[in-house]
Amino acid sequence: MNKTTDNSTTIDQELYPALIQCFFIISAGYIAGQLNLLTNSHSIGLSRYISNFALPAVIFKNLVDIQFQNISWQFLTSVLISKTIVFFLTILLAYIAERPRNYASMGHYGIITTQSNDFALILPIIEAVYKESHPEYSRYVYLIAPISLVILNPIGFFLIEIQKRIDDQRKHREKSWQHLQLISSVCQNICCNPIVICTILGIIFNYIFNQHLPNTLEYILTPLSQSFTATALFYLGLTMVGKLNRLHAHLVITVFLLSIIKLVIFPLILRQAVFFLVKPINGSLHNTIDYSNLGFLYGTAPTAPSVVFYVPETMLGLQTIASTELVISTLLAGPIMLVSAKMINLHTLDLGTTQLYEILLTKTAFDVSILSLFCTIIVLIGFCLRHRRLKISFIHKYTFICVGLQMILAIWTIIMHYVKQPLLSTTSTIFDLGSIFIALATRTWVTSLSIALMITTCHSNELARRCSWIYHVFGWFIPASISLIIYFSALFGPTEEISLLGVEKLGKIQVILSILLLAFCTLINTISLLRIARRTYRLRHDSTDSHSNSVRNEAQPLMVDEDDQTFIPPFIPDEGDKQLFRHAILVALLTIDAVICVSILLWVLISHDRNGIYYELQFLDTVLLYGQGIMTFLVFALDADLLVPIKRKTMKILSCFGYNTNRSRDPIRNRSIENNDSLDFELQIRPNFTRQSKMNTSSETTFDGNEFCQWLITNSYLENASMARAYLQQLIDNQQIISINQNTDDTDLLSNWYAFSK
């Protein structure tokens, strides 16, 4: 116990300064970008210095000194297999979900989820964690990096080049391209990459110099390599400036899924691959566990900034996704790396330490449940005040049931915290069955909600109503049946007490059935979300074609008043619910908890080892399971339809006690921007936007409001989203652009489709 404590203290002395150093330099770069201390040309020069001089020097210098005879090739093989699995899994998901198919997106998404910020961010963390126990582990980073750069990235480059050729052929139909030309172009780009060249030279000179760099070369390369970390982190902060302002609803789910695959799915796959491939030494698993923990820590590294430069300049949407995912993954990776680095050093926990962590997890579940209860109450009040929506939209009814179950789970956890042990047999039976049923029902009802969303979006509202019995059977009957099977199997069979916490309490039968149910729920949720994404895009694409045809066939501008009144966009669901996207986001968030829970249960089933990573995953699963109400609140808290009724009701109650709730509106909000000389609509905005639209899409006359506002900000016509929105409203008021949807609701201003009036 003392050894573990001393080791943890030593790691804290190295880890916290390393993390503070990394994120302080990132913050400095971000502040410099916000204050415009560095121009765009400065940042380009900085990136070229990093990629052409500093990083190649780091790779070459360390590869020459590596002792390859002491390298675990089984570990490197497991990293290669894991990255390959994640790479092609990402491509497959993009292939299924995106319509029309975009090969550039497939290739670039694969690169995003597999290329980590190896040298600037994760290397200092690994050096701090393993400085005393395994100092040789940091050298693996220099061998892992070429896996992406030399093996996987070229596949992504091929797909990007294929899409560029396809787009070019659409514009110039008489032009053709050859496969050999494509292959030679990609191979030439790879061979001319300084990082690839220095990787090959480092391996060659490792044998020439007998694994020791000559003093002359060392004096030359050391200053260059030492400048890399600070420069790369500073540049990472620069690239984060202004990226979140470009995020809109249609990109949320893509960025979210890419970040989850990179920071959650990849570490879990890598850890399992290392655990299966790295063989024990003399029958001891300590070596295997150490390498699996190293793989997990490496997997938590965020995406490398260089992925932004792989996107062609004409693909603005893909650039936005890449840059936004870079920001999100970097922000999320900070706490994940901190917790992982602290927990991986807890190898074998004694009974006292194990009980301490069990108590901590139980207290965490209690604390999170209190906050979750408060959040679910607010959401349920908002739903009840929208009772008219509940009568019309059955999707809201099923979401209401999900939120109700989340509230019951929170209340149940709070009650269980105050129940004294041991209990009477009857009382214990009720509590055991109740705990199992509620935990499973919260997951099965999420799947029922995903099925209802899929049928509503992909088929019809009427069919979804006729299939309501499926939702109730799967939501109520399945968890009730499994709960009874688990309880009676544990009651009459030999019990094996695995853990004091919920999903592992009644032995292997509970673990196995929970794995099967959660895996099935995850599969159904994923399929439903992918079908919803495909169907939504197809309907929106058909709507764009319809808008374009209607505007092209228009000869008289006055026809807008008549035809727009009868036009109904086909991508709006039948039930009139414009917030189904939020329900889909909720399903995606809650599915993540199921994936993490399956990983924990597989760990329990395969290995009886309980180290720090296990309790880290257990802690994460506890927070996500008992914090479902918090996630639901965050999803719907941004919904004005939910909060406005609560605000009105509160103001009405306060007015009864004499409080004056009237507030004058800010006149700045309605301030006109007509006097801005830089916004010449006829000479600058319209021709430049039309020219850019011709480069990116076949549709020249129609666009959505969010696309137009993003274009204004990206091209520095306006500073922020609020000014762009105000300018869009001014163009509508001046009838310089027309709304094809004929929807004047201010909340739908950015989602409407528009066309130029002349």
CATH code (residue 439):
1.20.1070.10
- Give CA–CA dist 76/695, Å, rounded: 43
**Weakest mean pLDDT among 214-228, 601-615, 639-653, 712-726:** 639-653
Q: Is residue 413 part of a domain?
A: yes
Q: Bridge-partner residues for 738, per DSSP?
A: 755
Angle at 23 between CA 22 and CA 24, to 5 degrees: 95
Q: Is residue 659 part of a domain?
A: no
Q: Is residue 353 part of a domain?
A: no
The mean pLDDT of 514-527, rounded to a whole number, is: 90
- Give CA–CA dist 380/405, Å, rounded: 11
Q: Does residue 589 sit in the same domain as residue 678? A: no
| Cis peptide, bond prior to residue 312, ω within 30 of zero | no
Most confidently modeled of 244-258, 519-533, 664-678, 700-714?
519-533
Q: Does residue 429 sit in the same domain as residue 322? A: no
- Tens-digit pLDDT profile for residues 573-630: 433 344 677 788 788 888 888 888 888 888 888 776 666 677 778 877 888 888 888 8
Q: Does residue 28 sit in the same domain as residue 171? A: yes
Q: Does residue 478 sit in the same domain as residue 590? A: yes
**Weakest mean pLDDT among 195-209, 285-299, 438-452, 733-747:** 733-747
Q: Bridge-partner residues for 753, per DSSP?
A: 704
Q: Residue 49, Cβ neighbours under 10 Å: how many?
A: 17
CA nearest neighbour of 374 among 400, 413, 411, 399: 411
Whichever domain contains 28, its CATH number is 1.20.1530
Q: Does residue 39 sit in the same domain as residue 177? A: yes
**738: part of which helix (H) or strand (E)?**
strand 737-739
Q: Does residue 379 sit in the same domain as residue 521? A: yes
The count of structural domains within the chain is 3
Instruction: Show the 3-state SS of 238-285.
Output: HHCCCCHHHCCHHHHHHHHHHHHHHHHHHHHHHHHHHHHHCCCECCEC
Collapsing DSSP states into helix, strand and coil, what is residue 575?
coil
The answer to whether the CB of 427 falls within 8 A of the CB of 610 is no
Q: Please report the pLDDT score of residue 567 as a whole number.
A: 38
Q: Please report the pLDDT score of residue 249 as a whole number.
A: 45
Residue length of the chain: 758
Q: Is residue 567 part of a domain?
A: no
Collapsing DSSP states into helix, strand and coil, what is residue 116?
strand
**pTM (two decimals):** 0.63
**Weakest mean pLDDT among 449-463, 472-486, 676-690:** 676-690
- In the predicted structure, residue 464 carries a pLDDT above the cut 70: yes
Residue 237 exposed, middle or buried by CB count within 10 Å (0-12, 13-18, 19+) = buried
**Weakest mean pLDDT among 212-226, 467-481, 483-497, 659-673:** 659-673
- Give CA–CA dist 739/741, Å, rounded: 5
Domain that holds residue 338: 2-343
The answer for 664, left when phi > 0, alpha when psi is -120 to 50, beta otherwise, is beta
**Weakest mean pLDDT among 328-337, 367-376, 542-551:** 542-551
Q: Does residue 323 sit in the same domain as residue 214? A: yes
Q: Is residue 551 part of a domain?
A: no
DSSP character at residue 755: E
Last residue of a domain, one of 653, 677, 702: 653
Whichever domain contains 691, its CATH number is 1.10.10
**754: part of which helix (H) or strand (E)?**
strand 753-756
Q: Is residue 566 part of a domain?
A: no
- In the predicted structure, residue 703 carries a pLDDT above the cut 70: yes
- Give CA–CA dist 592/253, Å, rounded: 13
The mean pLDDT of 221-246, rounded to a whole number, is: 77
**Weakest mean pLDDT among 163-172, 484-493, 545-554:** 545-554
Last residue of a domain, one of 343, 360, 393: 343
Phi, psi of 704 (to 5 degrees): -95, 160
Q: Does residue 712 sit in the same domain as residue 640? A: no
Residue 165, CA distances (Å) to 314, 713, 717 in order: 13, 29, 31
- In the predicted structure, residue 213 carries a pLDDT above the cut 90: no
- Give CA–CA dist 515/729, Å, rounded: 52
Q: Does residue 47 sit in the same domain as residue 187? A: yes
- Give CA–CA dist 216/524, Å, rounded: 61
**704: part of which helix (H) or strand (E)?**
strand 702-704
Q: Is residue 658 part of a domain?
A: no
Q: Does residue 319 sit in the same domain as residue 383? A: no
Q: Bridge-partner residues for 754, per DSSP?
A: 703, 739
Collapsing DSSP states into helix, strand and coil, what is residue 688?
helix
- In the predicted structure, residue 168 carries a pLDDT above the cut 80: no
Give CA 116 to chain center in angstroms: 15
Last residue of a domain, one of 604, 626, 653: 653
Q: Does residue 397 sit in the same domain as residue 488? A: yes
Half-sphere exposure of 730 (CA within 13 A, CB side): 18
Q: Does residue 647 sit in the same domain as residue 514? A: yes
Q: Is residue 44 part of a domain?
A: yes
Residue 3 makes CB contacts below 8 A (sequence gap 6+) with none
The answer to whether the CB of 758 falls within 8 A of the CB of 550 is no
Q: Please report the pLDDT score of residue 559 as a whole number.
A: 32
The answer to whether the CB of 46 falls within 8 A of the CB of 232 is no
